[in-house]
Chains A and B, each alone.
Chain A
Amino acid sequence: DTGVSQDPRHKITKRGQNVTFRCDPISEHNRLYWYRQTLGQGPEFLTYFQNEAQLEKSRLLSDRFSAERPKGSFSTLEIQRTEQGDSAMYLCASSNRASGRTDTQYFGPGTRLTVL
């Protein structure tokens, strides 16, 4: 399978715990995005990377959230001191275009987070 992969697929945690998710983009894709999707809503942009540089962060990304993309390959999204409101599907997407235009983003299967 050469698509975007995410791990774990499901995570149940207790309020206050830290969690970390991983995303492996399509090979050689230089852009990687994180979105959050709650029930009955469309995905909402959180942040994106071009290679290893984090270029934009949404106001949705509080200081409890941090994302990294070391060496421009896989990415991790960490949530510290989880709250019940963090329960959502966390989606990763990747794309690969050199131009300055929005390009096709391919999504992974997501990580479903449940905070008890």
Chain B
Amino acid sequence: QQQVKQSPQSLIVQKGGISIINCAYENTAFDYFPWYQQFPGKGPALLIAIRPDVSEKKEGRFTISFNKSAKQFSLHIMDSQPGDSATYFCAAGGSNYKLTFGKGTLLTVNP
């Protein structure tokens, strides 16, 4: 049972455009939703995270939008740059501390 569903699987945007990646979860016990960025051959690096007491969180060009009733959350990357080209993973965590990850989105930003 896949508890966190992520889409799209891959995404191509032009430099300066907006990248949007969506995730949906099933377990209502989740209370922590981070996004990780991973470059080839590297470990995942935390990008931004949100808890369900807020509907949006912004850090620089990265914004998480959270819809608790729909059990969905999304990552928006504004003014996308070629250096943002990487694989992005959403994840969800609850009181048992472990993270459940989506399958990832390969983002390519063309110059």
**Chains A and B belong together in one complex:** yes
Q: In this assembly, does A85 line the interface, its C-beta being within 8 Å of a C-beta of chain B? A: no
**Residues of the B chain whose Cβ atoms lie less than 8 Å from the Cβ of A4:** 43
Q: Which of A11-19, A36-44, A61-69 is found at the contact surface with chain B? A: A36-44
Contact of B93 among A6, A35, A58, A102 (CB under 8 A): A102
- Are A91 and B96 in contact, CB atoms less than 8 angstroms apart? no
- Are B101 and A102 in contact, CB atoms less than 8 angstroms apart? no
Q: How far is the CA of A96 from the CA of B62 in the complex (A)?
A: 24
**A102-B31, A102-B32 given as contacts; is B44 within 8 A of A43 (CB)?**
yes
- Are B99 and A43 in contact, CB atoms less than 8 angstroms apart? yes
- Are A56 and B98 in contact, CB atoms less than 8 angstroms apart? yes
Q: How far is the CA of A95 from the CA of B97 in the complex (A)?
A: 10
Q: How far is the CA of A106 from the CA of B36 in the complex (A)?
A: 10
**Residues of the B chain whose Cβ atoms lie less than 8 Å from the Cβ of A45:** 98-100
Smallest Cβ distance from A9 to chain B, in angstroms?
A: 9
- Are B99 and A102 in contact, CB atoms less than 8 angstroms apart? yes
Query: What would 5 A/B residue contacts be, using CB atoms closer than 8 Å?
Result: A4-B43, A35-B99, A102-B95, A104-B46, A107-B43
Question: Which residues of B does A touch, CB under 8 Å?
Answer: 4, 6, 31-32, 34, 36, 41-46, 49, 89, 91, 93-104
* Top-6 shortest CB links A-B: A42-B101, A102-B93, A107-B43, A102-B32, A45-B98, A109-B43
